[in-house]
Amino acid sequence: MPGDILDNRGRGTAGWSWPSIHPEGRKFGAIAAVAALVVGFLGWSFIAWPLVGLTVWILAFFRDPERVTPRDDAYIVAPADGLITLIQKVPPPRELSANDGTGVIGMGTAPVTRVSIFMSVFDVHINRAPIGGTIRRVVYIPGKFLNADLDKASDENERQHFLVERGDGLHIGFTQIAGLVARRIVPFVKAGDIVAVGQRVGLIRFGSRVDVYLPEGTEPKVLVGQRVVAGETVLAEVGQALLIEGVRQ
């Protein structure tokens, strides 16, 4: 009916459903399942059952549940599921702050608040856009595979930086960081793409971290030790002064 309030899938009612499996994980699940069937057919049940368990774990790791994203220009939502492990004032990485020669304005060099979200192997690993806008930069940096929970992982580990610019000029930077087990960062978007807030932008295999660089003057609404949900948890709220300044720009 006209005027009805619908959910993010255009439905007037909501109900629980099995989360889908992202295509990136279906091939790994299929390989493990075939291996379990072959080994079981050969009668090696002591190997087959662990392979069945591995198949279930792989499918669970690559689960891709639907999320309901808050709609408010003041909200910056969490780009990853996981645990808030660090909240610090730091200068943005050079890849997000420096002039890259394309005319795209970066975040600047003044210290901003960085919120670090650690994803264990049990968390959903699909990452989402913290705001809607245009992807201005996607910069991949090869590196080490240190424990993603360490502060120095932001500077030394394999990582991928994203810079998103909203229509009012607000910039948000966030970084996918590989960890001890993670061995591949997979982007779903490229520079120039337009994304909606909460849209899927990439994933990291298997267990890692995402750093979010908030705009200068923005304070987080989360605490260290809090668990957040990608695309749903409000990570920070842009102050009224920044919203007004963005409109003026």
What 8-state DSSP symbol labels residue 240?
H
Kindly list the catalytic residues. Answer: 208
Give the count of beta carbons closer than 10 Å to the beta carbon of residue 191: 15
Q: How far apart (Å, rounded) are the C-alpha atoms in residues 199 and 188?
A: 10
Please answer whether residues 204 and 178 qualify as being in contact, where contact means their C-beta atoms are separated by less than 8 angstroms. Answer: yes
79 contact partners, CB below 8 Å, separation of at least 6: 117, 127, 128, 129, 130, 174, 201, 210, 212, 230, 231
Helical (H) or strand (E) element with 24: helix 23-41
Residue the block writes with tokens 């662990």: 50
Say whether the peptide bond before residue 206 is cis (omega within 30 degrees of 0). Answer: yes
Cα dihedral 130→68→203→189 (10° resolution): -60
Please answer whether residues 206 and 148 qualify as being in contact, where contact means their C-beta atoms are separated by less than 8 angstroms. Answer: no
Residue the block writes with tokens 């932008």: 201
